[in-house]
Each structure stands twice: as structure tokens, then as C-alpha cells.
Amino acid sequence: MENGVMMQYFEWDLPNDGMLWKKLAQDAAHLASIGISAVWVPPAYKNMDQNSVGYSPYDLFDFGEFDQKGTVRTKYGTRAQFEAAVKALHGQGISVYLDAVLNHKAGADEKETFLVKRVHEENRYEEIGDSYEVEGWTHFTFPGRGDKYSPFKWRWYHFSGLDYDARHGERGVFKIQGEGKDWCHSVDREKGNYDYLMFANIDYRHPEVVAETLRWGSWAVREFELDGFRLDAVKHITRPFIRHFMHDVREHCCRPLYAVGEFWKHSEEDLVAFLQETHEQLDLFDVPLHYKLHEASVRGADFDLGSLMQDTLVHNHPTLAVPFVDNHDSQPGQALESAVLDWFKPAAYGLILLQKEGYPCVFYGDYYGIGGGEAVHRGVIDTLLRIRRKRAYGAQRDYFDHAHIVGFVRSGDHAHPGSGLALLVSNANEGEKTMNVGADHAGEVWTEATGCCPGEHVCIDPAGNAAFRVPAGKLAVWHLATA
């Protein structure tokens, strides 16, 4: 879809009431009307407990169908409700991307005995002492599901590490020992080797693990008619497997299949290396841009807005970038808390939604509120989405040439009458900037769309120039007044 927009349709503090899939189905027509072209849904399968947001996966084949872990439904509802939501979204022309948590498993059914070596938590290559025997929760038998959809049962040798020794009651990072056992390489080098993240760490060096995960990917796409995946924690998964997974699933589904990965790191250089090593089989969320937006919101006038887009994925690799403002990990109270402050959030959304490049993602928490709180940004996001649908076309010219007032213009095109816009952001005093929107707009009268300059108009001169104003600490978006 032209000018497509993804929405992350969950936040961390949703109630455990089993109603999200029903709400999503009811919301499908509204989402289409505001220009949402795809929805990233949370992990829809059974986790180690019903209240889990989805990142402690127990059984990827149980979408709220079987009585396991003390529940049939997941936090978000039942399989039938999930299928109804997908059908409703597809009926509105909206794609569905499933959050795939493939790095680890949690909530095993039985303990097993095997050898481990404890490693230093800040350097996974530093072993502490000799091998010793532990009991670990690594045997997944899925008693509620049995062999339906897959007969595979997970054993200790399908994992490379775990965080709890049940025999001695100790927590830490334990590397499983045995023939061919080691951390996977071609992962992020933080902590020496960041293969291990949490729970029972899946070993993608094991051929049975690879085969089962590939089987699940193709099954999930066919079973639920998915349009793509959001791949969780990809910096912890070996890159050859990521390539293999995406190639295999696309080959078996025989249609275009989108994928975006979460590689949570400030460094654009590290994200680019991942993209290259995975042969650009997926896009990445623009985490460096998120941190720039967060820093700009915290530092205010002390931040140089002229540097805002530097060293970001959307600036340097735009066709592979998914810019976002916030998500469930960055929201207040989470381990990666780095929320963009409210005063700057309209500007942040203006920047990602109205620029030419990237595939922007709107966060549920910003649009519907967090933890049942007020949705303070919904109005401005609706306005920006409307402008994106109607005005955000044509070439872009950047004006990131000042520390406190920056912007860009979109020149519009003949296929979208009335299109074209001028965006300005201030992090200090009010001011204006002369920008060129193109001689095709000569003589037009433009007005500000967000309400920050009520009653004001500007006239585009014969060369396509105009002086556009922005109030102190605000976002301003100007476009043709009568279209």
C-alpha cells in the first residue's frame, strides 16, 4: 500500500482479560479508515503463564486452543478469536504480522539432568569452574496438545543454556555441556557472546531444532494466513538461521511475506552489519532513531536538532528501516525504558509519518493509552495520519540546518491533487524558516494543520518559497488551505 503504516497493537500493561483479539476485530474498520495498512500483533501462542505479554513462550503451536499451563486462552484470547481478528483485518485490506519469539522457551513440563558450566554474566566466554551436574527445566512434552500439529518434544540437548539450576536452587547463566554444544556464533558480541538472553536458550546449531522451527514458521503462515513476522530479539539468534528461516518460510508460502526484526542497539553500524549478514531478508526497527528522539525530548534546547537524523537507519538505509517513536519495551516501567517525553512526541510522530522514507510504526500505547490511562496523543496522530494519506507525496527536501528549528518539505505530485507539505520542529524558541516547496505551488495559500498557528496563512511565491512559522517547542505542518 502506498504510504503504508504499521501499528503495534499492544502495550505491556494490557489487562489479562482475554479481550484483545475481540477488540482488534471490532477495530479493523477504524484502523483502515485512518490509514493503518498492517498490524503487528503480540505473540499469540501459549506462554508459561496466562498473564505473560508473550515473551516467555511455552508452545508455539497452541494459539489458545488447548488446556495447558492452567489455561486454554492466552492473555489475549482464544485461537478462534485470533482467527476472527485476522479475518476482520484482511477484510479491511490490513496485513497481519505475528510476533515470533524464537530465541528461547519457558515453562517446561519436566526437569532433566545434564552437565553445565557456569559462565560470567557479563562475559559469556568466561567460564567459572568445572562442569557439574544440574537439574534443569528443559523437557517440553505439551500434555494438553499431545502430538497435534507437531510430535516434536524438546529435550535438554535442544538448548545451549539456561538460567536456573533446580538441583541447587541457584540462578545464573549456565552453558549446557555435551557433544557439539557451544554458544552460537554470528550473534551480537555484547557480553562477549550474546547468544544467551533468558530462560532455556534454543540451540540453532542442532539440526532437529532448525527443522522444527522451520516447520512451525511455514505452519503458522498457512494456518492463519499471516502476511509476515516481527522477529523478536534477533541480535541473540545466529544470523545464518535467520536467513534460512526467512528463505524457507517464503519458499513454502509461495507469496510475498514481510519481516521486520528487533535488534535493540543504539549503533546503526551494528544494525547494518546484521542486515548485510542476513542478506537483507528482513527490515529492522530503527532503534538508533528512537534513541535520538528520546534524547531530544530529554535534553530539550540542549539537543542539536540538526543532528537528529544522522547515523539512523532511515537516513542511511531507508528501504530497510521501520522508524518508530516508542514501543512496549521503551514504555515507562520496562527494562529498556526510554520513552519519548510527551512534549516532543507530536514532533517525533510528525517526523516518522510525514517523511518520504521508511515504513513507520505507530505504538498502541501512544494511540490508545497505557495501562488504561488517557490517550493524550491520539488526536495529533490522527491528524498526522490524515496528512500522510492526503498530502505526504513527492520528493523530499531537508532543512536540518539549525540547532533548534529544523524541517523538511514534500513537493507533492500530480497523482494526488492538493498534496505537498512543509514540516517544522522547534525545541526552543518560536521562529520561522524559508523553505522551497516547488514552483508548481506558486500562488497557493497554505495553512497550518495541527492547530498551533490558528488563523495564520502563508502564500507561496513564484519560485516556490515561503516563510513557515513554528511556535516554541512545537510541531507545525503546513499544506494547501483549500484542498
Distance CA 73, CA 59 (A): 13
pLDDT of residue 255: 80
How wide is the angle at C-alpha 276 spanned by C-alphas 56 and 222, nearest 5°? 50
Task: Let me know if 147 is exposed, middle or buried by CB neighbors in 10 A (0-12, 13-18, 19+).
Answer: exposed
What one-letter code names the amino acid at 413?
D
Kindly write down the DSSP assignment for every residue of 25-77, as one continuous string: HHHHHHHHHHT--EEEEPP-SEESSTT--SSSEEETT-SS-S-BTTBSSBTTB
pLDDT in tens, 122-165: 999 999 999 999 999 999 999 999 999 999 999 999 999 999 99
Q: Does 483 have pLDDT greater than 70?
A: no
What one-letter code names the amino acid at 363?
F
pLDDT of residue 253: 87
pLDDT in tens, 55-78: 999 999 999 999 999 999 999 999
Assess whether 262 carries a catalytic annotation: yes
Distance CA 80, CA 82 (A): 5
How wide is the angle at C-alpha 322 spanned by C-alphas 316 and 328, nearest 5°? 135
- Listed in sequence order, the DSSP H helices in 173-256 are 207-224, 239-253
Q: Does 121 have pLDDT greater than 90?
A: yes
The catalytic position among 223, 262, 280, 432 is 262
pLDDT in tens, 31-55: 999 999 999 999 999 999 999 999 9
The catalytic position among 27, 65, 227, 232 is 232
Domains and CATH numbers, the chain: 6-102+208-390 (3.20.20.80), 105-206 (2.40.30.140), 396-480 (2.60.40.1180)
How wide is the angle at C-alpha 258 spanned by C-alphas 254 and 260, nearest 5°? 145
pLDDT in tens, 276-303: 999 999 999 999 999 999 999 999 999 9
Assess whether 304 carries a catalytic annotation: no
**Is the whole model's pTM more than 0.85, yes or no?**
yes
Kindly write down the DSSP assignment for every residue of 450-466, as one continuous string: SSSSTT-EEE--TTSEE
